[in-house]
Amino acid sequence: MNRKVDFLSQEEVKAIIKLSTPLNFRLGKEIFDKGGIEIIEYTDNKIIADIGDSQRRKVEFLSTSNGLQWSCTCKRNQKKFCKHAVALGLEITKSGVQ
């Protein structure tokens, strides 16, 4: 991903990644390390990405007045990042968010 993500602060993303379980963090890092992240859509307040290893899932990060909202097609309405969301979070922080 070459474009800079403007709507999320690096600190915000890192803080949410830290809330994931150790297992999901490790699995998400594995996906990230293998480059299993494809950005599908990128707008001023939203990122949608196709994430995965054996099974592909769609993760969406949405900026709202209440902060970052996210969803993933593997599990919905989870408070903690799943491995796919971790992978996308790592991709975003890697690319130099301000």
In the complex, which residues of this chain contact Zn ion (CB under 5 A)?
57, 72, 74, 82, 84
> Is the Cβ of residue 13 or residue 57 nearer to Zn ion in the bound state?
57
> In the structure encoding, which two tokens stand for residue 67, read together?
């902060």
| Smallest separation, CB 98 to Zn ion (Å) | 26
Amino acid at the residue 8: L
> Is the Cβ of residue 37 or residue 84 nearer to Zn ion in the bound state?
84
Q: First CA to last CA across the chain, in angstroms?
A: 15
> Is the Cβ of residue 20 or residue 84 nearer to Zn ion in the bound state?
84
Neighbours of 43 (CB within 10 A): 10
